[in-house]
Structure 1
């Protein structure tokens, strides 16, 4: 198993894109996953800017495992809005080619699967298939992140959407933190079920809390009702990632695992401390799995 620890630039969201990349390398990560919106790699960047970024990442020895776009979300949008999403997505295809990146995150969208209709799934999947066809022209893979409040918030619902899309260049981003929120198994069974469709991995920690005013707390409607969660640093919440990493090792996963911790950051330098902690914990999980 070869896993390369990567950092989601959102962890360094108050830094410029260039400073975030430099800090990522300085901390010791192997990969840098750009947040594809302001102030980082938004669609208004010029190709010259992206080329300069690619050259700097090469100098820093950083790979780009995935472009984390916020495109898609087709259900409930008009035809013209969906077309606009495709146009913006194609901009990121150009960026991916410049940055030598093979995977682009793209989201079928809301609503949560338990409230979704067959029409929601059919519409989102049809537009997603069009996006995949465009991605194929660039030799790219589109990746659906398993995410709460989405059509793809469980392995089963993700499998259903993948079947409806029916394109070979569409895969899945495993996210144990997101799966924990909705009570979904995020360990060995999820890795086995996803199989070759698993193309990328995100990690973050969360825990249930009683106080909605706790730092960073957010509320989510689940099958158990309205629950409150709080983001934590890896190893300090309720998401045990060890079985996931064991399963990745067993499956022969060869790729990046991106840390995307979203704990509150109130003091200057907190973002660097968080990123360094996540890398230390990631390395330990990789070592233990090996």
Structure 2
């Protein structure tokens, strides 16, 4: 198993600082966030994130991405793209960039639910079957273009989208070539929506399981009930060891199906300062993987 960090979770560091810190701490790889984002007076995960490469001018940034990554002794676990499957121009660009960098795989976002603001300012109101069918049609095109570039496009299990669960993602990709499309299984997102017992869910994905993200979340009860007097719960991000997803049980499920490839951390908790958080996360991941009987492929990752 190899460990990397998604730079959405390192907003205070520039790309050079992120790579240098992670390399010094002993991480195997990095997953660069690539998107045009809003400015912010204070760096944040989603706006003003200093460790993000803009989508605008991405092609001109590729030499710097390669130089910074390789200079820190890091590998790519993939690229954290935000291009949506219905934006064919941007999908083509991130697939080409993935191939040029030798990063192997990149996230290509699916459509949000009709009642979701995920990636949009106003919900579309469209019914799920219509959105699912449209996503499938677009992903057939994505799969063909990924094959052309010799890379893999990844569907992330994410709340607020048509693929919140392993079951929905498997149904979306069924019949497409798993050499060129796959799924990011994400423990933290599944705590919020789409939870299925990890072992059967991972078994269900079969050849489409391409990548693993880990973060954690917990549910917190609001002080005020709803209008009918019922309890209302909100989700919030939590440190890896303190959320409702059990990382040891998750790694044991990964071990049972024989998964020992990349695990990418995107920890959006803020209990610890960033450098302490990333260092502590690596130590916790190594311990958890060892207890689950999964060897750490440090040497392999750095060859």
Q: Name stretches of at least 5 consecutive residues in structure 2 with no aligned partner.
A: 38-49, 117-125, 225-229, 294-303
Equivalent residues of 2:217, 2:244 under 8 A apart: yes
* In structure 2, C-alpha distance between the alignment counterparts of 1:286 and 1:113, rounded to whole Å: 38
Residue 191 of structure 1 contacts residue 244 of structure 1 at CA under 8 Å; is this kept in 2? no
SS at the partner of 2:221?
A: coil
Aligned pairs for 1:126-275 (under 5 A) are 126-163=137-174, 166-168=176-178, 169-182=180-193, 184-211=195-222, 227-264=233-270, 270-275=273-278
Structure 2 contact 83–94 (Cα < 8 Å) conserved:
no
TM-score normalised by structure 1 residue count:
0.83
Q: Which residue of 2 aligns with 1:219?
A: none
1:68 touches 1:104 (CA, 8 Å); kept in 2? Answer: yes
The size of the alignment, in residue pairs, is: 264
**2:128 and 2:9 mapped to 1: Cα distance?**
35
The alignment's TM-score, normalised by the length of structure 2, stands at 0.80
Superposition pairs of residues 49-128 of structure 1, within 5 angstroms: 49-72=61-84, 82=86, 85-111=87-113, 116-128=127-139
> Distance between the aligned counterparts of 1:242 and 1:129, measured in 2?
35
Runs of 4+ aligned residues of structure 1 deviating over 6 Å after TM superposition are 112-115
Encode CA deviations 1:234-270: one digit per residue, 9 max, x unaligned: 11121102122112222221321001011137xxx81
Mark the runs of 5 or more structure 1 residues left unpaired by the alignment.
75-81, 214-223
Superposed CA RMSD in Å reads: 2.5
Selected match of 2:53 from 31, 37, 41: 41
Q: Structure 2 vs 1, CA of residues 118 and 103 (structure 1 numbering), >3 Å: closer, same or farther?
A: same
